[in-house]
Structure 1
């Protein structure tokens, strides 16, 4: 699976025995992305709460879970190591790339995001269901975490001097420049020194990802074509949208700064840059 699949592909494979469909729509987010298609699902989908699949002990939102926690959640809903997984959400492409990236980071690459998500599925008048699938089937899942895909605060801080990679920030230009407030109360806006702003909205065409030529042009204009990249945002969520866009061009999984701006701005000693 190449990271992104079409509604036509999913329609043809709905009955596959090894296919797991995950609805990762969330009731709300810090950016006020609300659940716009309540109680409408793709047939056979299992609902997944991002909060339940994150590290509950962390003070930061959406923190990557331990392999043990991740494996337990997979086993709860019948995911095994040879399962094919399709993730989608009711925004089109918002929450689902985070789960896609998490599975890949845990060594499971048989996973793809539904391009256009639920809105595209509904707009094409495809069959829907009013309930998600409930399952009590327990299966074994053994994660193989690639630690290099999860960047820490210290690694991001040290990179300001070492310049081994470029941090690509998926937040809006106003937040990056320090001219618009952060949605999380008490956080200053601005950006990590030497980082590059690529708002996640720029890689989208409505609810779908832009085509490869458009994406390549975007990365070229940002001067990112030949750079090693680590993606960041407010909480590690929309960074995965831009990471998915990069994956479509390179077929490589990119690291995420998991604490992202929420962590960076909370630490008093963090250097913060703003627009000139």
Structure 2
């Protein structure tokens, strides 16, 4: 098995494991790719809902899609039955889109035994494994308590302070047209452009169909942007969701000096005081 990813055959074999907890990390709105649409609700047997936009999002924050507070994460993780010894596997219905965000949220909150299903629900269906039309019922509460690792996430002040530091590389997961300000941003009031000195690695370029490209191909993509030359890899996107796709890919090829700029372009582009690249 890889560092981070599991395949459909592995998941099918382990679905009934006592400590396995399976999450469908859905999002209602998909930005940056053509959404896969379903005529009716479908999920993987045994899955529980992982609501990134409400339960696991700090909606009291001024930034869009802010990470939950440790207290908020603890509350909802325990309600979903997460124990210290649990093995968590996460998927989403777009293949690879929002599941990496859920994965990184677990990592930020100090939970390490978490994996992502490569190819997600589309791969599961394509391979002919069984599906269901309802989430499973939660049985009992868990005992996991979040311990936030603040080194895994950063804010605009810290990014701004290190803009001219060659040891910091800001990697933007948005499409090249948005990165190069060739199109307007999809969110009202957000400027077009990019963070100064940032580089572009569109999350779609990491995909082979609905799943990730090979480790060799991913390594080449990261090498092309000069990731080996930086001590601090800061990942950004539109609102902190697809940046986590790049973080997951980085971990898959052995890069661990990864930090999420959680506010991402929705925050930076909305602040007229912040410079444009």
2:15 and 2:4 map into 1 onto residues whose CA distance is 17
For 1:65-214, list aligned pairs within 5 A: 65-214=68-217
**1:202-233 Cα distance to aligned partner (Å, 9 max, x none):** 11111101111101111112222232311000
> Is 1:49 equivalent to 2:32 in the alignment?
no
Could you tell me the TM-score, scaled by structure 2's length?
Answer: 0.94
> Is 1:264 equivalent to 2:268 in the alignment?
yes
Task: Give the superposition deviation at 1:163.
Answer: 3.6
2:189 and 2:25 map into 1 onto residues whose CA distance is 28
- Structure 2 counterpart SS, 1:16: coil
- Structure 2 counterpart SS, 1:237: coil
Q: What is the count of residue pairs matched by the alignment?
A: 273
1:168 and 1:31 map into 2 onto residues whose CA distance is 16
**Corresponding residue for residue 18 of structure 1:** 19
**Structure 2 unaligned regions, length at least 5:** none
Could you tell me the TM-score, scaled by structure 1's length?
Answer: 0.95
> Is 1:39 equivalent to 2:41 in the alignment?
yes
> Is 1:243 equivalent to 2:247 in the alignment?
yes
Match of 1:254 among 258, 263, 270: 258
**1:30-76 Cα distance to aligned partner (Å, 9 max, x none):** 44764623411111000121112100101222101111100001011
1:208 and 1:44 map into 2 onto residues whose CA distance is 22
Single out whichever of 64-73 and 32-41 deviates more from structure 2.
32-41
Measured on the aligned residues, the alpha-carbon RMSD in Å equals 1.5
Query: 1:7, 1:114 within 8 Å by CA — same for their partners in 2?
Result: yes
1:265 and 1:252 map into 2 onto residues whose CA distance is 27
For 1:207-226, list aligned pairs within 5 A: 207-226=210-229
Q: Flag the 1:32–1:199 CA change in 2: closer, same or farther, 3 A.
A: closer
Task: Give the superposition deviation at 1:2.
Answer: 2.4
1:198 and 1:27 map into 2 onto residues whose CA distance is 24
Query: 1:212, 1:249 within 8 Å by CA — same for their partners in 2?
Result: yes
1:258 and 1:241 map into 2 onto residues whose CA distance is 13
Name segments (4+ residues, structure 1) moved above 4 Å. Answer: 30-35
